[in-house]
Copies of this chain bind each other. A is one copy, B any other.
Amino acid sequence: MKKSYKHSLYLILVHYPVVNKHGDVIASAVTNLDLHDIARAAKTYGVKNFFVVTPLKDQKELINKIISHWTIGSGAKYNPDRRDALELVCIKDSLEDVVKHVVKQCDSRPQVIVTGAKNNSRSIGFDIFRKMIQTDKTYLLVFGTAWGLSEKFISEADYVLEPIKGCTNYNHLSVRSAASIILDRLLGRN
């Protein structure tokens, strides 16, 4: 039996434009377990689609190969739960292409909210965004790979979500951990 949930949230994992450890804008390589872990978390919390953004042809082919194995290849029979999660994955060249896709599905322009480990003067809190997504608006929740989204990308977003604070000053979670924790803070029921 499917539980109902009200939100209309999409997840995006961006491989370009992100920055490297020196702050240069780069296109990062795809990590296999980013796809698995974030798709599984997205499925757990009722996310509508998990968009993986990269403009690189070879990287798109790699993602397709991984996803196909689990959605239509032998992996789908071996582990149907994994198939259900990875079916959420949708590959796009850019944020603009994601927006176009979602506009077609929802008939309204989604709002873009970016995540990151750094403080930002525009940050909104988890409690505020948790309430925002319990409306009929559509949101794209964006995560960056490598050392995070480029400054330009962040400045162009509609909203910036506050960073995760643990209980130390160490703030170097993997994007897989961050996405899981943020989904739980926004949509967890326990």
Q: Which residues of A contact B (CB under 8 A)?
A: 1-3, 5, 21, 33, 36-37, 40-41, 43-46, 79, 81-82, 84-85, 125-126, 162, 164-174, 176-178, 180-181, 183-185, 187-190
Contact = CB atoms under 8 A, between A and B. Distances in A.
A131 to B, nearest CB: 15
A41 B125 contact: no
A134 B83 CA distance: 40
Contacts of A79: 21
A45 B5 contact: no
Given A44-B172, A174-B40, A167 B190 contact: no
A26 B166 CA distance: 34
Contacts of A189: 165-167
A106 to B, nearest CB: 19
Given A126-B190, A188-B181, A168 B1 contact: no
Contacts of A181: 180-181, 184, 188
A180 B2 CA distance: 26
Nearest to A171: B44
